[in-house]
Chain A
């Protein structure tokens, strides 16, 4: 079983739609949860960072962590064509320096 599972998609939505991206994980030691956006031929760019359980909002983006279910989500409101990219979830334990990534979900927002 992989440490982190993520549906690779692809996901295609019309402009303005609400997008929901999800990851599940198996390691209960994970405390830090991140979402990265990766455009084609570029490195990942940090979007959201959350420690432990709870919600965090930043503009059109909301990250949720449910440690009891080992499930994290990223919601994108009012999606824009510029949001078209691959979205990677990543997580790490309290003492570890290694990040564990999901496989990424490819998102296309159609104008």
Chain B
């Protein structure tokens, strides 16, 4: 049973560029959440998608946007990259009936902005 799959594993981008990160949720999960984890910090909530709509959003600027597809996979897009966007981006999936303890994280995409 595959868990949460994220791609790519690592990415280097130049300041001002745009980036798209991808996530495939665990089989049977229909809700996808994205988190940003800066070095030495805990994950910070970006947003959550359910039924192809953004259900909740954390304190991140509009440069961060997302999408969920009918197969429940999701993308995170970041425009106009800043050096401070360098972080590990984590995708977590869950099912509706086990939202709190069925949260499964992927291994993340490490984004470096230079």
Report B-chain residues with C-beta under 8 Å of the C-beta of A42: 107-108
Cα distance A51–B104 in the bound complex, in angstroms: 18
Report A-chain residues with C-beta under 8 Å of the C-beta of B45: 98-100
Inter-chain contact B42/A104, CB cutoff 8 Å = yes
Assess whether A25 is interfacial by the CB under 8 Å rule: no
Q: A97-B56, A99-B45 are in contact. Are A43 and B108 (CB under 8 A)?
A: yes
Inter-chain contact A34/B43, CB cutoff 8 Å = no
Inter-chain contact A43/B41, CB cutoff 8 Å = no
- What 1/0 flags go to B85-104 for Cβ under 8 Å of A? 00000101000000111011
Report A-chain residues with C-beta under 8 Å of the C-beta of B41: 103-104
Report B-chain residues with C-beta under 8 Å of the C-beta of A32: 100
- What 1/0 flags go to A41-63 for Cβ under 8 Å of B? 11111100101000000000000
Inter-chain contact B55/A97, CB cutoff 8 Å = yes
- What 1/0 flags go to A80-107 for Cβ under 8 Å of B? 0000000010101000111111111000
- Smallest CB separation, B92 vs chain A (Å): 8
- Smallest CB separation, B56 vs chain A (Å): 5
Choice from A4, A97, A101 contacting B33 with Cβ under 8 Å: A97
Interface residues of B in 35-90 (CB under 8 A from A): 35, 40-45, 48, 55-56, 58, 90
Which residues does B use to contact A, with CB under 8 Å? 4, 31, 33, 35, 40-45, 48, 55-56, 58, 90, 92, 99-101, 103-108
Which residues does A use to contact B, with CB under 8 Å? 4, 6, 8, 32, 34, 36, 41-46, 49, 51, 88, 90, 92, 96-104
Nearest first, the 9 A-B pairs at minimum CB distance are: A101-B42, A43-B105, A49-B101, A98-B45, A32-B100, A43-B107, A103-B42, A101-B43, A97-B56
